[in-house]
A and B are shown apart, each in its own frame.
Chain A
């Protein structure tokens, strides 16, 4: 059974640009969550989608947004990139109120 797939694995962007990250959950999992991991702030919850609806949102500015498609795949978008957005972005999928399975992450570097 394939795990959570995140693409791309690495990205380099310039300040002010926007970026879109993609996440394909485990087959049958309808919930997708996104987390940001930085050395200073650790792992922080961004948002969660279930059946194409955002169900939970973390404390991040509106530049961070996401969506989920009917096949449960999810995308995360960050607009007007700042240097501080450099991080490992992790996607996790769940079947229900059970454990979350994480992908390998997308390493975003903003220069």
Chain B
């Protein structure tokens, strides 16, 4: 069965600092991997996706993620965070693309001014 683990429930970083959010997945075949962001009371916005090819993928808002098959990881990174990045971040794995997404529990990001 597919599963996604986001080990960090809550992370606090200072504005301008770098960020890395961890995601580990369990899936038998080549996974389709996604990162979504959710602001309070809002829906999910897609940050980036990995289907195949280059293991370093670029997304919106300056985010990037690296797929590491040997570690079953898909960590999200940003070199310099902005106060507007404060939100909850979800990693997801999909079977046959995005037909049925399995989400991690989310990581809440707080930005210190």
A-to-B contact residues, CB < 8 Å: 4, 6, 31, 33, 35, 42-45, 48, 55-56, 58, 90, 92, 94, 96-105, 107
Contact = CB atoms under 8 A, between A and B. Distances in A.
A45 B106 contact: no
B58 to A, nearest CB: 14
Interface in B1-53: 32, 34, 36, 41-46, 49
Interface residues of B, number: 24
B89 interface: no
Contacts of A100: 34, 46, 94, 98, 101
Contacts of A90: 43-44
Interface of B: 32, 34, 36, 41-46, 49, 90, 92, 94, 96-106
Contacts of A102: 36, 43-46
A43 B44 CA distance: 11
A56 B106 CA distance: 23
Nearest to A42: B105
Nearest to B97: A97
7 contacts: A4-B43, A33-B100, A43-B106, A48-B99, A90-B44, A100-B94, A105-B43
A98 B36 CA distance: 14
A99 B99 contact: no
A6 B43 CA distance: 10
Contact of A56 (B32, B100, B105): B100
B97 A96 contact: yes
A104 B43 contact: yes
Nearest to A47: B100
B69 to A, nearest CB: 20
Contacts of B96: 97
A43 B90 contact: yes
A43 B103 contact: yes
Given A42-B106, A45-B101, A102-B44, 7 more contacts: A35-B101, A56-B99, A90-B44, A94-B98, A97-B97, A100-B94, A102-B46
The 3 closest A-B pairs by CB, nearest first: A97-B97, A43-B103, A102-B44
A71 to B, nearest CB: 21
